[in-house]
Amino acid sequence: MEEINHKKKRSIFYRFILKPILFLFLSSLLYTLFCRFILPPITITQIADVVGGYGLKRDYVSNKNIGRNIKLAALASEDQRFAEHGGFDWVSIDKSMNGKKKKKRERGAGASTISQQTAKNVFLWQGSGITRYIRKVPEFYFTKLIEWTWGKKRILEVYLNVIEMGPGIYGVEAASQSYFHKHAKDLSRQEAAMIIACLPNPKRFTVRPLSHRVSWRYPQILEQMNNLEGDEDIEAIIK
């Protein structure tokens, strides 16, 4: 009788716990590998904007058509240690937790790395409060997964294609066309800095019309771009 109960418990464990976990792991791994070569067909955030009435303006472009200036602006503003870390900027996290003052060159307190933002935007959802904390475990998993399988160039390419850069506007090509009527590869340094300055809240911090926050932030990004330019590791990623 005890042996029968033991077998029954093992069967329940396999069917309702182990099997779903294996399915989720394999499906997430396969989709991650799919996105290593093909840009994500749709994201939860994009679906939410369509449902919310913002529409979906998007034009995916390859890495060679993104442009050096917008890549440099993104790294300068969002993740200056992108070339060094393995998905998480533990140096900034440690400073933030200990309440130490950051240098001018560093990102704002509590900001996620580009790898984390890419994982969140491609595989997960936005949101604050309790949903933000629920998201942390899968965000950690997907962040490490794309670091291991995509590499830095691909992560930056996907990030700049899927990130929201205005109400219903996704990716640098759609943003470039909407704000400056040109391709992303042709953006000037100032234009690139202005687009990136709308993050992390592009619905509120608008490029057209120019919001106070964007007008205040983009000169700082230009300065940080000058500081980063010439760094060998950065140059290897944005070339």
- Residue holding tokens 């182990």? 18
Q: How many whole angstroms separate alpha carbon 113 and alpha carbon 75?
A: 9
- Cβ count within 10 A of residue 234: 20
Helix (H, G, I), strand (E, B) or coil at 166: strand
Mean pLDDT confidence for 149-168: 97
Q: What is the pLDDT of residues 47-82, one digit of tens each?
A: 999 999 999 999 999 999 999 999 999 999 999 999
Q: How many whole angstroms separate alpha carbon 193 and alpha carbon 187?
A: 9
Q: Which of 18-27, 87-96, 208-217 has the highest mean pLDDT?
A: 208-217
pLDDT at res. 105: 42
Q: What does the block give as tokens for 215?
A: 């007008």
